[in-house]
Amino acid sequence: MTTKILKLSSGEEIICSVVNSESQNFVVKSPMKLNSYPKATRHGIEEALSLQRWIHFAETDTYDIPQSHVMASATASLGLTRFYDYCVMKSKKEDGGVLEGRPTNEELDDIMEDEWDEQFGEPDSKLIH
């Protein structure tokens, strides 16, 4: 199986493991939707990437996509493939109810506060806009 990025006629981009593409359908396993968004960093605005399940609450993780619905396909880079493999593994653990190292609500709040402070300064800062 190879990890591919498929640009669909709907405009969506998905990353998936292609099981078979020799028939009239792409047979894909564990497809995830690619989402890019701007993210503020110390070096300015950068593009960030997230992956989410393409189809939620399904009984299977293998799907047929008609080749007529695929506008373009490309082999995913090694870095993106590793990120995809990690996200697939994490989603399978979630499905099984086994989430090791899942942050608590308090830890998530701390992370958000740290990100806010990094981007906009400490709350008690004298900087006023």
pLDDT recorded at residue 59? 85
Bridge pairing between strands 13-20 and 25-41: antiparallel
* Inter-residue contact 30 to 61 (CB < 8 Å): yes
What are the chain's domains? 2-98 (2.30.30.100)
Residues 32, 4: Cα–Cα separation, whole Å: 11
* Inter-residue contact 36 to 56 (CB < 8 Å): no
Beta bridge partners of residue 36, listed in sequence order: 49
List, for residues 97-116, the tens digit of each pLDDT value. 544 555 666 766 776 777 66
Where residue 23 falls among pLDDT bands split at 50, 70, 90? confident
List, for residues 55-100, the tens digit of each pLDDT value. 988 889 999 999 999 999 999 999 999 999 999 998 887 766 544 5
pTM of the model: 0.68
Provide the residue type at 101 as one letter.
G
List, for residues 40-60, the tens digit of each pLDDT value. 888 889 888 899 999 988 889
